[in-house]
Amino acid sequence: MDYQSTLSYLYNSVPMFQQVGSSAYKEGLENTLILDEHFGHPHRNFHCIHVGGTNGKGSCSHTLAAILHEAGYRVGLYTSPHLIDFRERIRINGQPIPEDYVIRFVENERNFFEPLHTSFFELTTAMAFRYFADEQVDVAVIEVGLGGRLDCTNIISPDLCIITNISFDHTQFLGNTLGKITEEKAGIIKKGIPVIIGETTPETKPVFIKKALELNAPIFFAEENEKEDYPELEYELKGLYQIKNIRTLLTALPQLQVAGYKLSEQAVRNGFAHVCELTGLMGRWQKLQNNPTLICDTGHNVGGITYIVEQLKQQSYRKLHMIIGMVNDKDIRGVLALLPKESEYYFTKASVKRALPENELALLGAETGLLGSCYSNVSSAVHAAQKKSLPEDLIFVGGSSFIVADLLANRDTLNLY
């Protein structure tokens, strides 16, 4: 098998949530524990930091990895989903897992995992942990996949847990109230292990406090952190929502230092200032073009879109062009209701099975006063917006991680650098 055929095998032989949605979701840790036993409990060979929440956990995970890298640690980073290449999910000091490791892992282990009928995420989590152990990382930053309590990353014993915030997402699995979702996300809190909470609401805070008390876990709320340990901190990620992530991270760093991590001020500043370069992070309020300005962002639920809309209001432009696509298991009406009505819309769809057809999205958009045209793919929507735009216009591309993934995968043909 070569790399592409290995990926095809993975995508087609084990259910992949990124592609098919709910049918790929497996509740419970039975397969995860069997895989962990088979591979010799690899996560016990390195330190871990566990990062969960609804929005911001990817940015926080990448930034933490960048800071630790700058501090001299050999750092594993496990995140999801990927935007362009599967190997983005599993990195060491910013470098993606080698293609030949992925090929060998699948070839050598398929006879074991095939009878288990594992999910894609169960298998890739096992691969990540085994790879990090094989490569003798000092510490791995592990991003929760979905939820927390029953997520297959939740077998680790971390030095620190971080939960960024709670918003409505994946309600079909996690519950339809903020309280129920919080109970699932708070499932990563461990006995005696400090936990940082990035943002709370009146519904979520009592749930966090109760869980932490039950487990005797020291709990720290970033909202209550008034200290300015790093004045004039430069953060490469420019999204308005990153202000909350900065405070979350600055609340986490002292607890890591208490746990024995050596983090100099220079390492912290360099990590914040060069997170994309150090970790390969993409798609967070990322500018890809000037004159007209083109910006993309992976925010895809009500919580994420709220910040994006607020940031769009702060931009100066002659006209706003919104290229929007969504997947069919999100709160589509909730997101559309937030979007600015004075824009021209380019409704499109991503190249995944979960993508909502662009004409259906346009009909839902029209219900809330969003008017525009339909395009069968992201590239054609971007081309149309570029043709209609003047240099002083702003083109925004988003609504889904998969829309941004299609955009980034076609940067060359769209002349975006």
Q: Pick from 52, 248, 26, 42: which is nearest to 143 by CA?
A: 52
For residue range 88-124, what is the model confidence (pLDDT) as tens digits? 999 999 999 999 999 999 999 999 999 998 989 999 9
**Residue 354, pLDDT above cutoff 90:** no
Surface-to-core class of residue 156, CB atoms within 10 Å of its CB (0-12 exposed, 13-18 middle, 19+ buried): buried
List every span in the chain annotated with CATH 3.40.1190.10: 3-279
Query: What does the pLDDT read at residue 187?
Result: 95
| CATH number of this structure's domain 286-409, picked from the four choices 3.20.20.60, 3.90.190.20, 3.30.70.270, 3.40.50.300 | 3.90.190.20
Mean of the pLDDT values across residues 384-412?
96
**Residue 235, pLDDT above cutoff 90:** yes
Task: Report the chain's mean pLDDT, rounded to a whole number.
Answer: 93
Query: What does the pLDDT read at residue 7?
Result: 94
Q: How confident is the model at residue 300 (pLDDT cuts 50, 70, 90)?
A: confident
The domain defined by 3-279 carries CATH number 3.40.1190.10? yes
List every span in the chain annotated with CATH 3.90.190.20: 286-409
Measure the CA–CA gap between 415 and 417, rounded to whole angstroms.
6
For residue range 30-60, what is the model confidence (pLDDT) as tens digits? 999 999 999 999 999 999 999 999 889 999 9
Q: How confident is the model at residue 147 (pLDDT cuts 50, 70, 90)?
A: confident
How much of the chain exceeds pLDDT 70, in percent?
95
**Token digits for 391?**
């240099």
Pick the most confident of 147-151, 245-249, 297-301.
245-249
**Helices marked H in 261-371:** 265-273, 275-279, 302-313, 332-338, 358-367
